[in-house]
Amino acid sequence: MTQNIKTKVVGVDIGVDYTTFAIVDLRGIIVAQERIPTADYPNVNEFVNVLSEQIVLLVEANGGYETVRSVGISAPSGNFITGCIENPGNLPWKGVIPLAAMLRDRLGMAVALANDAHVSAIGEHVYGCAHGMKNFIVISLGHGGVGSCFFSGGVPHLGAIGSAGEVGHICVADGGRTCGCGRKGCLEVYASARGIVQTAREVLAERSENSLLRSLANLTPESIGLCFDQGDVLAREVYRRTGEMLGIGLSTYASVINPEAIIMTGELTRKAWPWLEESTLQSFDEHVFHNIRGKALIMVSILNDNERDVVGASALAWEVEEYSLFK
């Protein structure tokens, strides 16, 4: 008897606001997609119950179990090696949650889980800018954090316990601002949306000249950027300082990894890259090891963030060995 191959998987992206899940075919086409509000489920067991019920409904409405091979999940603080979400800072659940095992038990399918940066990198490798590259870095600039993952020799480098790529917590300013991790001067307290706003407050306190920033009701990366576009000197200073820090972080990273490319992603990149680009690239060139200078492309992702995370999670799903309760 011949066996039909399964041509679809489920990709799940657990975000702070919503959990999106989709049936994705082997070309990366989203066949059907739904979402549930993550924050509505403070109890993780309830979350897993609802998510698995919804996935079953979606699978049954789109070809059934016979056509769906496995599940891939992108989650903040997810660890591919353990299949657990480990001490998430921004999700409603605490501690170490064995989410891959919990979903596998309910769905009877293989489940792979990885952190959002790792899944973004897989998404970029399979469907985006990093297609065909073996050594590259993906950086995500967000509201409060900087995530990253890098590929080495064509595979993601996970590290001994799955914690590689925490570039958000490399020190770029000795004795600098206090980070959520408890240490001082981490990259993400400067190169994040929150960090940019804090830099704007510092610049305004230090300098006395007139600035459009002084009349803003709400300091945000976008409102500061719009002042930048009008030639505001202090707005330019805010982005100069941010780009300086980001360039130091990226150049240190690149000097260690020697990537073909650094791919910038995430909400802040999408909103603020035009204002960050010049100062970041200048600082990068100043600080990177001279033999790497000019050899690492710095580019902005061409994928839509939400779609990349779901199709990236689907690409992850193809990497796990098939498993079925029914065989």
Q: Which stretch binds Zn ion (CB under 5 A): 54-62, 185-193, 196-204, 269-277?
A: 185-193
CB of 317 to Zn ion, least distance (A): 31
Looking at beta carbons only, is 67 or 90 nearer to Zn ion? 90
* Phi/psi-derived region of residue 7, left when phi > 0, alpha when psi is between -120 and 50, beta in every other case: alpha
232, 216 Cβ separation under 8 angstroms: no
* Pick 181 or 300: Cβ nearer Zn ion: 181
Interface segment toward Zn ion; rule CB under 5 A; list 67-75, 183-191, 260-268, 312-320 = 183-191
302 binds Zn ion (CB under 5 A): no
| Residue 22 touching Zn ion (CB under 5 A) | no
Instruction: State which residue, 31 or 173, has the beta carbon closest to Zn ion.
Output: 173
CB of 76 to Zn ion, least distance (A): 15
Q: Is 179 in the site for Zn ion (CB under 5 A)?
A: yes
Nearer to Zn ion, 139 or 186 (CB): 186
If binding is defined by CB under 5 A, does position 87 make contact with Zn ion?
A: no
If we measure between CA atoms, which residue out of 323, 11, 308 comes closest to residue 138?
308
Count of residues in contact with Zn ion, rule CB under 5 A: 4
Torsion of CA 305, 96, 185, 16, to 10 degrees: 30
Nearer to Zn ion, 73 or 167 (CB): 167
Smallest gap from Cβ 270 to Zn ion, in A, equals: 23
Rounded to whole angstroms, the Cα distance separating 174 from 35 reads 42
For residue 172, the minimal CB distance to Zn ion (Å) is 10
Our finding on whether 186 is near Zn ion (CB under 5 A) is: yes
Of 309, 317, 305, nearest to 123 by C-alpha is 309
Nearer to Zn ion, 169 or 271 (CB): 169
Instruction: Select from 118-126, 180-188, 233-241, 314-322 the region that touches Zn ion (CB under 5 A).
Output: 180-188
Contact present, 54 and 302 (Cβ < 8 Å)? no
Q: Which is nearer to Zn ion, 72 or 249 (CB)?
A: 249
Question: Which of 245, 247, 198 minimizes the C-alpha distance to 220?
Answer: 198
Does 177 interact with Zn ion (rule: CB under 5 A)? Answer: no
Task: Name residues contacting Zn ion, limited to 135-174 (CB under 5 A).
Answer: 169
* DSSP string covering 152-209: ETTEE---SSS-TT-GGGSBSSTT-SBPTTS-BSBGGGTSSHHHHHHHHHHHHHH--S
| Site for Zn ion contains 51 (CB under 5 A) | no
Give 59-62's long-range contacts (Cβ < 8 A, gap of 24+). Answer: 59/10, 59/23, 61/32, 62/8, 62/23, 62/31, 62/32
The DSSP 8-state label assigned to residue 15 in this structure reads -
Report how far residue 295's alpha carbon sits from residue 260's, in angstroms, rounded to the nearest whole number: 7
What is the identity of the amino acid at 218? N
Distances (CA, A) of 235 to 247, 272, 280: 18, 12, 15
Closer residue to Zn ion (CB): 140 or 301: 140
Nearest-approach distance from CB 183 to Zn ion, in angstroms: 5
**Closer CB to Zn ion, residue 224 or residue 250?**
250
Rounded least distance, CB 88 to Zn ion, Å? 16
Q: Does 187 bind Zn ion (CB under 5 A)?
A: no
CA dihedral 295, 302, 283, 272 (to 10 degrees): 170
Instruction: Select from 57, 161, 181, 297 the one that contacts Zn ion (CB under 5 A).
Output: 181
Query: Does position 311 bind Zn ion by CB under 5 A?
Result: no
Q: Using CB under 5 A, list all residues that contact Zn ion.
A: 169, 179, 181, 186
